[in-house]
Structure 1
Amino acid sequence: MSNFLLCLLSASSVHEAIQLAVSPGAYARASASARILTSREPSLVDELAREIRTVNPSIRVEMSSQDQVTSEYYTQALQKIEVYGDPSVHPQAEHYWGNVNSFGPRACYDEGKRVAEALCYAYREQHDVDIRIARIFNTYGPRMGASDGRVVSSFIASALAGEDLKITGDGTATRSFQFVTDCMQGLYSLMNSGYSKGPVNIGNDGEFTIERLAELVIDLVSRMTCQPRVSISHLPPLVDDPTIRRPDIALAREVLNWQPVVQLEEGLRRTIEWHINESRSD
């Protein structure tokens, strides 16, 4: 697809905004905020409602538009890996059902992702809607806001400001980080594939502790800016925060002929460079 319409939508404006596009070939729905996991604002309860509000009208837009287009038309739901919760299976493949606490501080966030997949499945079965579901593992890169609540951007912002990097827990929890260009290539491959049997993991299968991520950021920022190295401090762990994360991307390799190519240190270097240039332009 060569033309894209990017909109920041409320539930009430989804249908009207999509009608602005001329014969869309696909609709990609992405709605999430990582800040609710650390914010004290009363926004956590909104996440589950957001999933229902945005997925429902999104798929209804597709159904109402199918008779207006001649090309293949489908919805792609861009899901985060919260569907896996705190996994008891490692690495996590698409057939794993997950391990989620439905009665805890992360519940609305995690279950919101799961209900979104359930809604997509229901629409596919009842209305024959062509669906693609991507389960996106931790993604980072240039243009990610310093205050958006994600660990990579938070660490970079702190290191550039000369502040200690704060880790919740003892730092042994693991994550798998993929650079944004790899993620977008994976999503594009999925959107243009014929695979609609179920979710597909889109992620980098390299696995790093949060402590190691912090050390890499500290080292790169110090070398790139000639600033003194900052330190690491630890905060109490978050309730139900996953202890391990690593995608099994065998399915993506097989059906999409896709795999990530940007390794963590190189991706961090590009991201830090962008943040440095942004601070100089202010």
Structure 2
Amino acid sequence: MSFSLDRLQYFASVVECGSFTEAAQSLGVAKNVVSHQVAALEKELSATLLLRTTRNVTPTKEGAQFYQKISDLLREAAQAAADLNQNYQAPTGVLRITAPVHFGTRVVVPSIKDYLQRYPHMKVDLSLADHISDLITDNFDLSIRVGWPKDSSNIMRKIADVRRFPVATPALSQPLDHPRALTKLPAISFALSEKRVEHTFSRADETATVALTPVLRTDTTEAMQAAVLNGIGVAIMSDFQVADDLKAGRLQRLLPDWSLANSGIYAQYPPSKYRVAKSVCFVDTMRDYYKRTFNTDPTLS
């Protein structure tokens, strides 16, 4: 046998208020709704729960016993609903995040610092891996991805644009008047499966597509950055990857008058009609950090 929680609440309110009229007022419904729901509950139970007189309403012996048993249940249900609502109104609990290794170290970790300063009662679990995790199976609240969005059943929200440009050490750098000149330099590529990598540059109304044949291909951004810093060749890198190296003069940007299409930083949430506050607040915090740290950096313009 199953019961409507509303019917239990209507019955409990009548017992607590001592009348159908006051119970209806406390619940914000019409009196006949309360009367109908209590009568339906009595029919389901095949028991008389209330004694009705012209002056008041009192529980029967069975009704009083039933009220005692359901009152704790109703309080727990109300508290559970309040706790759940709180999760969608303000950050609570533990936030579980997955992100790529390099980006996680460079951007997510300092964003977590800002997040914990804003919400000191929060805790964060961070898993860094370059493979894409399943949010549901692996029990993550949030996945941070860099690049171009792919079809996904998850909810996706763009956090920021990522600027990309060719960089090299000062020893390799030379004035280049056109992207085609990149083909004369040794190249490093973040792709093991492609022997030639094409990049399309633009300047005003002009575009140029060049195909680079890398002398080194690697599957991690850390190795790619290390290879560039060691002078192995030129590479197309993202702003967050080389910001410190450009400031320190360890790397130089090539073709500053030309631009490549931006990639992006995306937050992925598990499929749901509603977004949990702890995830939304972290995404907002990371957007602020990225904008403050990279989008206003003159060395990256």
Q: Say whether the fold is shared (TM-score over 0.5).
A: no
Larger-gyration structure (1/2): 2
TM-score by length of structure 2 reads 0.21
TM-score by length of structure 1 reads 0.22
